[in-house]
Amino acid sequence: MKRFGVIGLGNFGFYIAKTLSEEKHEVVAIDTNQAKVQKVSEFVDMAVVGDATDIELLKRLGLAEAEAVIVSTGDEIQYSILITMFLKELGCNNVVAKATSEEHARVLEKVGADRVIIPEKEMAEKSAKSLATPNMIDFVPLSEDYIVAEISPGSEMLHRSLSEVQLRTRYNVQLLAIKEVIPDKLIFVPSPDYKFKDSDILLVLGRKEDVEKLRRNA
């Protein structure tokens, strides 16, 4: 079990804290709003009403030793900057900060945030991608060049075997797994004679342009 801190309990912070707790991790949640703290208290190990810009409070809660601390103070930009800076000064190795804009994100990075999230931007990019590429179900960027993507097989792949389709040779894409919806099961490293069905979901790894080529031609 790992220990996490969540500072700021708006919608984003609340669901981060709740999800981490549901994954059986120890969670310390902090907010200045008593009602928000009360709401999350039934899910987390410790819920604290307090001002996280008080470095002494951060020390007392031992957040420097946490696996990660998520800073999600909403539109209170100055607070998120101060809290992030204090956490890094205390020696916290992994500070994940929520930003409200690109400018806010740059400042958070300057004061030491290890990762900055702009939830609205990330959700918009995923939504736009799914609208523009309807058979790409989801994707995860691994670097500037590579992604892991979920795609559905197109008509050119249906009822053909993996060896016939030749994903690596033709598209330079690695098939990691197949999720069968009917029946419901996950197949890791499918055999060459596996035949694709229209209900399958393919988990593939490759360069962005290669995955896009597969999506267009599949």
21 pLDDT tier (thresholds 50, 70, 90): very high
47-98 pLDDT, tens digit each: 999 999 999 999 999 999 999 999 999 778 999 999 999 999 999 999 999 9
183 pLDDT tier (thresholds 50, 70, 90): low
Q: Across residues 14-30, what is the average pLDDT?
A: 93
Asked whether residue 216 carries a pLDDT value surpassing 70, the answer given is yes
Q: Across residues 15-37, what is the average pLDDT?
A: 94
Domain extents in the chain: 3-120, 128-217
Domain 128-217 carries which CATH code? 3.30.70.1450
Domains 3-120 and 128-217 share a fold: no
101-158 pLDDT, tens digit each: 899 999 999 999 999 988 777 666 666 655 555 554 455 555 667 888 888 887 888 8
Which CATH number applies to 3-120: 1.10.3720.10, 3.40.50.720, 1.20.1250.20, 3.40.50.300?
A: 3.40.50.720
SS3 readout for the chain: CCEEEEECCCHHHHHHHHHHHHCCCEEEEEECCHHHHHHHHCCCCEEEECCCCCHHHHHHCCHHHCCEEEECCCCCHHHHHHHHHHHHHCCCCCEEEECCCHHHHHHHHHCCCCEEECHHHHHHHHHHHHHHCCCEEEEEECCCCEEEEEECCCCCCCCCEHHHHCHHHHHCCEEEEEEECCCCEEEECCCCCCECCCCEEEEEEEEHHHHHHHHHHC
Whole-model pTM: value is 0.63
